[in-house]
Structure 1
């Protein structure tokens, strides 16, 4: 199935992805991983909750860690252009038959809670508390030196349906993988902010969050992180990489936090702001789609994901698989 024509004039204007909220089983251990090892900055701390941001971000947080019995993902957050867009978003999701509610969120203005076509919990806001810039306070740079949150990737039981829904929301496809036998989309990368993706969808049991990605200055920062993780008790948390993706052309590393939530460290993709940019199509069996250098991903990369709170999951009808490392 071909990707849909880009919707350049959506009913409301989403600026970019904004933040993710994880449930974690041990907040102290998660803080050691995300703050002491990766280098995210603490912007708020209260009993059972930790708020974090990366070095270039002015919003109060890009990640919320909430201590809970069951590790899971509570919500994916997005920023819209202004308050009228927030009201338009509410009308749009209601017209799609999705539940909507106005909720109170710390450090955010009016916030709309809703979900996508498969129930992925989403929240949208126009205003978040602003913090002073720290991107030139180089004494604060630690770990992998994360600059900003970059994208989410989710497992979808029907990638064509996910793409259609998010395309209608104004997210544009930059690259996609098609299964030649069924002519269905196996994976897709969609953006708002002008990189390769804010949201991506991978075929599989879902919906589940595959990973959250952070942008870093250079590939050398990834090498530094590997050395740090290998000598501070995190060698088993290194899952895949380093390498360069065929899709997106970005340099990458996949790691797992203490609860198994997958994090991608990411840099060097390309600009996608032109409205008439044509999506790049990849064949599912092309060994360079996963890694430009030809190395396939491990089995865990296609199977493991983080569940969303109170969201029912189902198998995908598309059984096709790319090349998997033994």
Structure 2
């Protein structure tokens, strides 16, 4: 697929991704994983929800863990630049026949709730409660020392269509994987904040959330987390890595939380702020695309993901086969 030209002046201004709401079945088990093991900081909690932030973040939360009967993803959140952008976004989604609801959300100002054409629940806001900085309070650092939420990756039944839609609202393609037999896009990485991606799409039954990712200081923090998980009952939760991606050039590790939600620990990608940045094309059969060095991804990485609440699943028509570990 020809990658669409970036829209440098989109209909409303998305600053970055902001937060994810995970539905979890056991708050205590989830707290032990996200707080005691990964090292996210609790900003508020009760017997139904836990709010978390990473060490460099000033907004109230980047993760909400909500008690539920079954695991799912409630919403993906994005921060807009200013209040007029909220009204522009509402008008834009309404004009395309997509839902527009103004909702009350704890610790957030005026919030627009909608869905993309594929069923992914989205919310947009401008103001979230601001907290005191803690990035130099080194006594609080533990686990993998997560600094900030970095990106979401979603399974999409039609990656080309997903790219076209999110391109319209200002996300720009940095890298993509093309199936050489059909010319279709098998995966794509798109950004707003100037890293390799705020969102990405991977071919598969969708929509489902493939993973959320957290940026950490160095690859050594990832090694420390592996040692910690291997000796505190989380060995089976280590799914893939460590390694370095060809796409994004990032050092990575994939782990699963107690409900199976996939989390990527991530560092070392590159700057993408130039408006004339040329997207990098990868061939689906290039083994260094997914892993510059190290083992191929396991089958679970290509097939398992978290359901979005209220979204209907669609099978992908693109049957191209990536390289899978034996």
2:78 paired residue number: 78
In 1, distance between residues paired with 2:191 and 2:9?
14
1:152 paired residue number: 152
Check if 1:141 corresponds to 2:141.
Answer: yes
Q: 1:285 deviation in Å? A: 0.2
TM-score, normalised to structure 2, is: 0.99
Cα contact 2:119–2:310 (8 A) shared by 1: no
Cα contact 1:287–1:294 (8 A) shared by 2: no
Does the residue aligned with 1:214 lie in a helix, a strand or coil? strand
Q: 1:294 deviation in Å? A: 5.4
In 2, distance between residues paired with 1:202 and 1:92?
26
In 2, distance between residues paired with 1:253 and 1:32?
19
In 1, distance between residues paired with 2:192 and 2:96?
20
Q: Deviations over 1:200-219 (max 9, x none)?
A: 00000000000000000000
Q: Which runs of 4+ in 1 moved over 3 A?
A: none
1:18 paired residue number: 18
In 1, distance between residues paired with 2:25 and 2:87?
35
2:227 paired residue number: 227
In 2, distance between residues paired with 1:30 and 1:3?
39
Q: 1:295 deviation in Å? A: 2.6
Does the residue aligned with 1:56 lie in a helix, a strand or coil? coil
1:162 paired residue number: 162
Q: 1:47 deviation in Å? A: 2.0
In 2, distance between residues paired with 1:239 and 1:97?
39
Does the residue aligned with 1:30 lie in a helix, a strand or coil? helix
Cα contact 2:179–2:186 (8 A) shared by 1: yes
1:58 paired residue number: 58
Superposition RMSD on alpha carbons, in Å?
Answer: 0.5
- 1:108-257 equivalence runs, <5 A: 108-257=108-257
Q: Deviations over 1:112-159 (max 9, x none)?
A: 000112010000000000000000000000000000000000000000
Does the residue aligned with 2:226 lie in a helix, a strand or coil? helix
In 2, distance between residues paired with 1:35 and 1:52?
8
Structure 2 residues without counterparts, runs of 5 or longer: none
1:33 paired residue number: 33
Number of residue pairs the alignment of both structures matches: 326
TM-score, normalised to structure 1, is: 0.99
Does the residue aligned with 2:249 lie in a helix, a strand or coil? coil
Structure 1 residues without counterparts, runs of 5 or longer: none
Cα contact 2:13–2:170 (8 A) shared by 1: yes
1:323 paired residue number: 323
